[in-house]
Amino acid sequence: MQALTFGQSKARMIDPNDQSQRVTFKDVAGAKEAKEELSEIVDFLRNPKKFLDIGARIPKGILLMGAPGTGKTLLARAVAGEAGVAFFSISGSEFVEMFVGVGASRVRDLFLMAKKNSPAIIFVDEIDAVGRIRGVGAGGGNDEREQTLNQILVEMDGFEPNEKVIVMAATNRPDVLDPALLRPGRFDRRVTLDLPDRQDREEILKVHSTKKPFAEDVNLKVIAERTPGFSGADLYSLMNEGAILAARENRTTVAQYDLIRSIEKVMLGPERKSHVLSKKEKEITAYHEAGHALLASLLPYADPVHKISIISRGRAAGYVLHLPIEDRKLQSKKEFLDDIAVSLGGYVTEKMMFGDLTTGPSNDLQVSTALARDMVTKYGMSDMLGPVALEGQEGKALFGRGVEEKSFSEKVSADIDAEVSRIMKEAHDKAERTITENKKLLDAIAVLLMEKETIERADFENILVAHGVVPKKKLDIEHQV
């Protein structure tokens, strides 16, 4: 029997009348612009006459684009829930199988099912699995993935147009999609989902806290302020981890302290209390983290410090949590240069204090070198090379060409390496100069860190004030831990 059903679609259908699986726009916090775009689709599915009478045709395809975890799949389910129509869900990878033609056959079968149940929504998750630019992979024109993509193109806008089947797709790699997929008549409505800002994060946290009993001290504003760059999925994980921490300690309510701890658990991993450092290693780690914190506090364009710890978490022996004063959409060259100097703080301090280097700064060096290279090759922030983009978004050659093929000469490649080395050297010198001038402050931070293992923002700012350094401007929100 399996041989006979091999070419049939394996899409899962969600019945519009099934209340247990129904998701609506109320369940999706933030993403205001995306919800406005999609509410038109809902309106059309509920009341198509209004649009058809005026000669309007609803877009056939909606492409949801955004970083992983921003709620693309959730929004697609919310559209189906709001419209009350059949919803067919399938992953892009489920089309492509070992045998030639199976993917195309499944696409035909899926659209046939949708037409029978129209009006309907087809949702293809991770469409980049089949929708990549044609003609660059191995296998030539008979490549199975290309056959599947061709069939999707024909079904969406071919000889038999279907009015009441709307195709939604999600991807976090829109740059690799075939241009034929993105033309008007196919995926002509593109909805971008950004990472949530502070207000959106607070709303998302409220959605995820509906079934969690909170203690009186819980302040979700503080949690939202402490989590820039978190996606909706990260915030769900944060609330879940907070509840797990409270349950582990046999408490019946989730406290603010649980949520604060779970931020670091989501960002870095669980505390590794069994990872005990020797006295010498503890001293090196304390000075390493003190070097980062000192530079973050003194350099004008670096983010202020919220917490320093030498308790191991995940793969980090210690960490400095420094967060921006407000959410940023753009970053400047001066901010990048100060970030690189802060990253080199641990390296410089170890070399200066102990006359030796450990494996501790390896990740700092990787991150700062990658950032310096991006400044030169992506953002045009090099005076020598000027405003030229030499690499695409993912570090690959531009315009869909091969990964190994470079679009610049060996001389330019050597110039890039020289510029990256110059940026790193200047950041190193800036870090070394700042730390040398403030050695007393460095010692004070390291000594307190060895004694307490963790320094919160209030205690850290007291050290800064005692040494004549003005802490960076606080937000309106008070930090209560």
Q: Count Cβ atoms below 10 Å from residue 449 Cβ, excluding itself.
A: 25
5-31 burial code (b ≥16 CB/10 A, e <16): eebebebeebebeeeeebbebeebbbb
| 284 and 218 belong to one structural domain | no
| 420 and 312 belong to one structural domain | yes
Residue 381 maps to which CATH number?
Answer: 1.20.58.760
| 303 and 433 belong to one structural domain | yes
| 251 and 341 belong to one structural domain | no
**In this structure, is residue 188 part of a structural domain?**
yes
Q: Which residues contact residue 156 at a Cβ distance below 8 angstroms, ignoring those fewer than 6 apart?
A: 60, 61, 167, 185, 186, 187
Taking alpha carbons only, the member of 136, 120, 114, 148 closest to residue 44 is: 120
Q: Which of 141, 164, 193 is at the close of a domain?
A: 193
pLDDT at 343: 93
**In this structure, is residue 131 part of a structural domain?**
yes
| 144 and 166 belong to one structural domain | yes
Taking alpha carbons only, the member of 63, 147, 27, 60 closest to residue 99 is: 147
| 214 and 353 belong to one structural domain | no
Do 30 and 75 meet the contact criterion of CB atoms below 8 Å apart? no
For 24-72, the DSSP string reads -GGG--S-HHHHHHHHHHHHHHH-HHHHHHTT----SEEEEEESTTSSH
**Alpha-carbon gap, residue 271 to 165, rounded angstroms:** 50
| 183 and 83 belong to one structural domain | yes
| 258 and 149 belong to one structural domain | no
| 206 and 184 belong to one structural domain | no
Q: DSSP assignment, residue 257?
A: H
**In this structure, is residue 137 part of a structural domain?**
yes
Options 289, 350, 391, 461, the catalytic residue: 289
**In this structure, is residue 229 part of a structural domain?**
yes
| 390 and 336 belong to one structural domain | yes
pLDDT at 468: 81
Q: Count Cβ atoms below 10 Å from residue 438 Cβ, excluding itself.
A: 19
Q: Which residues contact residue 351 at a Cβ distance below 8 angstroms, ignoring those fewer than 6 apart?
A: 357
Taking alpha carbons only, the member of 466, 100, 446, 464 closest to residue 298 is: 464
**In this structure, is residue 384 part of a structural domain?**
yes
**Alpha-carbon gap, residue 481 to 475, rounded angstroms:** 15
Enclosing domain of residue 220: 198-268
| Positive or negative: CA dihedral 263, 269, 273, 275 | negative
Do 283 and 448 meet the contact criterion of CB atoms below 8 Å apart? no
**In this structure, is residue 231 part of a structural domain?**
yes
Do 213 and 180 meet the contact criterion of CB atoms below 8 Å apart? no
Q: Give the global pTM.
A: 0.77
Taking alpha carbons only, the member of 161, 31, 25 closest to residue 80 is: 25
230-242 burial code (b ≥16 CB/10 A, e <16): bbbbbbbbbbebb
Burial class (CB in 10 A: 0-12, 13-18, 19+), 34: buried
Residue-wise pLDDT for 227-257, tens only, equals 888 888 889 899 999 999 899 988 888 888 8
Residue 251 maps to which CATH number?
Answer: 1.10.8.60
Q: Tell me, what amino acid is at 475?
A: L
Reported as type and span, the H/E element at residue 307 is strand 305-309
Q: Which of 164, 193, 222 is at the close of a domain?
A: 193
Q: Which of 245, 268, 291 is at the close of a domain?
A: 268
Let me know if 37 is a catalytic residue. Answer: no
**Alpha-carbon gap, residue 213 to 245, rounded angstroms:** 13
Q: DSSP assignment, residue 321?
A: E
| 244 and 297 belong to one structural domain | no
Number of domains in the chain: 3
Taking alpha carbons only, the member of 270, 347, 263 closest to residue 312 is: 270
**In this structure, is residue 474 part of a structural domain?**
no
252-to-219, 243, 247, 255 alpha-carbon distances in Å: 18, 9, 7, 10
**In this structure, is residue 1 part of a structural domain?**
no
Taking alpha carbons only, the member of 223, 169, 214 closest to residue 196 is: 223
| 318 and 454 belong to one structural domain | yes
Q: State residue 454 phi and psi, 5-degree precision.
A: -140, 130
pLDDT at 287: 92
Per-residue pLDDT of the chain (481 residues; tens, 9 = 90+): 445 454 565 566 666 666 666 777 877 887 788 888 888 888 887 788 888 888 887 777 888 888 888 888 888 888 878 878 878 888 777 776 656 567 777 778 888 887 887 778 888 888 887 777 876 554 444 567 777 777 778 777 765 655 678 888 888 888 888 888 888 878 888 888 888 888 888 888 888 888 888 888 888 888 888 888 888 888 989 999 999 989 998 888 888 888 888 888 888 777 777 777 788 888 899 999 999 999 999 998 888 888 898 888 777 778 888 888 777 778 899 999 999 999 999 999 999 998 888 888 888 999 999 999 999 998 889 888 888 888 765 544 344 444 445 677 888 889 999 999 999 999 999 999 999 999 999 999 999 988 888 888 888 888 888 888 888 765 433 343 3
244-to-61, 204, 241, 250, 255 alpha-carbon distances in Å: 40, 19, 5, 10, 11
pLDDT at 142: 52
pLDDT at 403: 46
